[in-house]
Amino acid sequence: MVIIMGIETENSEIENSMRETARSLLKEKKVDVIIGYTNGTVPLSSAPIMITKEEEVEKLIWNNLCYVNLAKYLVPRIPQLIDPEKGDLKVGIVSKGCVGRALIHLSVENQINLENIKMIGIPCNGIINRKRIEKEVGEKEILEVFAFGNDIVVKGKDFEQEFSFEEYINELCKVCKVKSPPVLEELAEICIGECQEISSIGDNFEDLVEFESKTTEEKWDYIKDTLETCTRCYACREACPMCYCNLCFVDQNKPIWFEKTTEISEIIAFHLVRAMHLAGRCVACGACSSVCPMGIDLNLITRKLEKIVKERFNFTSGIDSKKMPPMMDFSMDDAEEFMLEED
């Protein structure tokens, strides 16, 4: 007999296993602090939490609203993770696949030391597209959200709606190939819990077929239409684990690259320049889109760059702790077809 588990059952099993691992790490003093997820203050949300005691483990949760990439809290190091006497604390961090990839890539960029980290590996089963559900519900106030069977149930004072889980998860989750943190042979003890052995990612990028079939003009119109509601709040930048520069290019005043207005030309310039900075670095966590107050799906641009980097350099971010990203490395044998000699 085949037993088909509902999403709520999967979540419960992931949560129980995660808590057990976290409790063990704290009890055995293998970590000083654990970063994870807890309930948000409003429906359709979750919140990051840091715990230091075994009895606080029950505050840790897992559901399909845990959209924040927790690696963001390690770069730059925040005061809560530094002890005046011990220095950097040993950190346990609840890690779905994209969080694990972010941690590995940050170590490649010399931003963190993986030897101070324990990944509490969990098998992510997808993150709900919150803004899409809010748009469907409209102006009605959402009071409760929970998974039941294969649906997401949304309740309010005078309504109840069901949304297909498979249809209403983030687009990146639908094509994700790394559900749990990658296992690193050279750092085998870093990942505890459910981890994924992976040396390469076979990705056919079928989700880009429709966009790539468009003409150049159609692509440009699509990007403009997608970004025209952007308010330049920079939530996408703040949520991205790879946006850790002390001074972002958009905040520089010497030189000033462009003005801080909501003119469509400057909106597009910000997003495209930021996307280029993520070439070969994006770990496809979708945090940028999840936090956008306007519900803009920014993943198309970074996903296209991910494909280009894969095809040209055979590189995927966050699965190898030794291989440098293409934009940070060079070889004397690199192809230079972009350079032209004068006659």
Query: How far is CA 175 from its chain centroid?
Result: 14
> What span, in angstroms and rounded, lies between the C-alpha atoms of 37 and 95?
10
pLDDT tens sequence across 12-23: 999 999 999 999
pLDDT band at 4 (very low <50, low <70, confident <90, very high): very low
What would you report as the CA-atom Rg of the chain, rounded to the nearest whole angstrom? Answer: 21
**Which of 79, 89, 88 has the alpha carbon at shortest distance from 32?**
89
- Confidence at residue 252, expressed as pLDDT on a 0 to 100 scale: 83
**Which of 99, 89, 23 has the alpha carbon at shortest distance from 67?**
99
The pair of structure tokens assigned to 291 is 């936090």
> What span, in angstroms and rounded, lies between the C-alpha atoms of 223 and 138?
25
pLDDT tens sequence across 90-145: 999 999 999 999 999 999 999 999 999 999 999 999 999 999 999 999 999 999 99
Burial 178-201 (b: 16+ CB within 10 A, else e): bbbbbbbeeeeebbbbbbbebeeb
Domain-wise residue ranges, the chain: 206-328
310 pLDDT above the threshold of 50: yes
| Of 148-152, 185-189, 205-209, 301-305, minimum mean pLDDT range | 185-189
* E-state strands within the chain: 33-39, 46-51, 82-83, 87-88, 91-95, 117-121, 144-148, 151-155, 160-164, 191-193
Left, alpha or beta for 149 (phi > 0: left; psi -120 to 50: alpha)? left
pTM for the model: 0.91
> What span, in angstroms and rounded, lies between the C-alpha atoms of 105 and 315?
12
- Confidence at residue 337, expressed as pLDDT on a 0 to 100 scale: 67
> What span, in angstroms and rounded, lies between the C-alpha atoms of 109 and 89?
20
pLDDT tens sequence across 171-227: 999 999 999 999 887 777 899 989 988 877 888 899 999 999 999 999 999 999 999
| Of 130-139, 245-254, 268-277, 315-324, minimum mean pLDDT range | 245-254
